[in-house]
Amino acid sequence: MLAAGTWATVQAELPFVASAALAARAPLVLDAHNIEADVLATLARTDGRAAHRARWRWESAKTARYERRVIVAAAAVCTTSDADAAAADRLGSRRTVVVPNGVDCAAIAYGPPARTADLAYVGHFGYRPNVLAAVELVDEVLPRVRADVPDAGLLLVGREPGAEVRSREDPAVTVAADVPDVLPYLHRSRALVVPLRSGGGTRLKVLEALAAGVPVVSTPFGVAGLDVRDGQDVLLGDSAADLAAQCIRVLRDDALALSLSERGRELVESRYDWPVVARPLVELHAELGRSR
């Protein structure tokens, strides 16, 4: 299809399909959701299993070589953050444009924080960083929260939860697998907790929660690349103890929860709504198409 058509531009959503996209002989835009080699490098630093850390280091080096070839071949690379843009430039990008992740605010109903003691985590559990975050949340964060708020519960919502996630289900922890819509689970939760320490790009789960009016408690890594302010748009904590303390704050303080909810929605509407974030991508394609 690519080779037979007359295309003004072509966009590849991942580096792994870029070689096929080049068959169009049209300017290629690589949409780099992550710098894939960097994602693997974070796993090499954070995975608790020594053999797996060695594997991630090998995978990262191999992926970096492939990713560099794709980036050099592309007419332009779109990244979701300034940090990823700098990484793309180091890998040889001819032109790099930051196009932040965004959400369709018109499709996400806002609601004030739920008056429950439920916390939530949302993610695809076929992705190792999400598994590690869920395990830390259940094993390290939730017990500290329940010591102060005994009725606190946790919803783990996402696709393909494996044994490592499912084995942690108990009366306080619910695993909701492969749900058709995460919004009902967000709206019944007092806060989204994001104890991410590996991965890449920026997190759609954070933007979706903020748009829905759900307060977000996160590690600094979990909101990396997003223009959020600690104490105003989100609550940040580095260690499991810090995250638990922030969760307790938002569970106990209705005024704080409401302030985070309102500010989060305002931030997403002004900075991360689709009509706002799509503009530089549309302009890039138009310019490349005219230049042929």
Q: pLDDT value at position 34? A: 87
Model confidence pLDDT, tens digit, residues 95-106: 999 999 999 999
Model confidence pLDDT, tens digit, residues 38-74: 889 988 988 888 999 999 999 999 999 999 999 999 9
Q: Where are the beta strands (DSSP E) in the chain?
A: 10-12, 28-32, 76-79, 96-98, 118-122, 153-158, 173-177, 191-194, 216-218, 235-236
What is residue 267's three-state secondary structure? Answer: helix
In this predicted structure, the answer to whether residue 256 has a pLDDT above a threshold of 90 is yes
Q: CB-based contacts of 278: which residues, under 8 Å, 6+ apart?
A: 99, 102
Average pLDDT value for residue range 263-276: 96
The mean pLDDT value of the chain amounts to 94
Q: pLDDT value at position 12? A: 96
Rounded to the nearest 5°, which phi and psi values hold at 203?
A: -100, 115
In this predicted structure, the answer to whether residue 197 has a pLDDT above a threshold of 70 is yes
Cα–Cα distance for residue pair 212/72, rounded to 1 Å: 39
Please, which pLDDT band fits residue 123 given cuts at 50, 70 and 90? very high
| Helices 36-46 and 128-136, axial angle in degrees (round to 10) | 40
Average pLDDT value for residue range 137-163: 97
Residue 217 pairs with which residues in a beta bridge?
Answer: 193, 235
In this predicted structure, the answer to whether residue 266 has a pLDDT above a threshold of 70 is yes
Q: What share of the chain is helix, strand, coil (3-state, %, to 5)?
A: 50, 15, 35
In this predicted structure, the answer to whether residue 201 has a pLDDT above a threshold of 70 is no
Q: What's the DSSP call for residue 229?
A: -
Q: CB-based contacts of 9: which residues, under 8 Å, 6+ apart?
A: 26, 27, 28, 29, 75, 285, 288, 289
Q: How far apart are the first and last CA of the chain?
A: 20
* pLDDT above 70: percentage of residues in the chain: 99
CATH fold group of domain 105-271: Rossmann fold (3.40.50)
Average pLDDT value for residue range 146-158: 97
Cα–Cα distance for residue pair 236/72, rounded to 1 Å: 37
Model confidence pLDDT, tens digit, residues 213-231: 999 999 999 998 899 999 9
Average pLDDT value for residue range 235-261: 98
Q: pLDDT value at position 199? A: 78
The sign of the torsion formed by the CA atoms of 174, 180, 182, 184 equals: negative
In this predicted structure, the answer to whether residue 200 has a pLDDT above a threshold of 80 is no
Structure-block tokens of residue 26: 């049209």
Q: Where are the domains of the chain?
A: 10-102+274-290, 105-271
Average pLDDT value for residue range 188-202: 87
Cα–Cα distance for residue pair 217/193, rounded to 1 Å: 5
Average pLDDT value for residue range 243-268: 98
Give the neighbor-by-neighbor strand order of the sheet with 235-236: 173-177, 153-158, 118-122, 191-194, 216-218, 235-236
Please, which pLDDT band fits residue 202 given cuts at 50, 70 and 90? low
Q: Degrees (nearest 5) of the Cα angle 274, 209, 167?
A: 130
Cα–Cα distance for residue pair 36/40, rounded to 1 Å: 7
In this predicted structure, the answer to whether residue 272 has a pLDDT above a threshold of 80 is yes
Q: pLDDT value at position 86? A: 94
pTM score? 0.83
Please, which pLDDT band fits residue 1 given cuts at 50, 70 and 90? confident
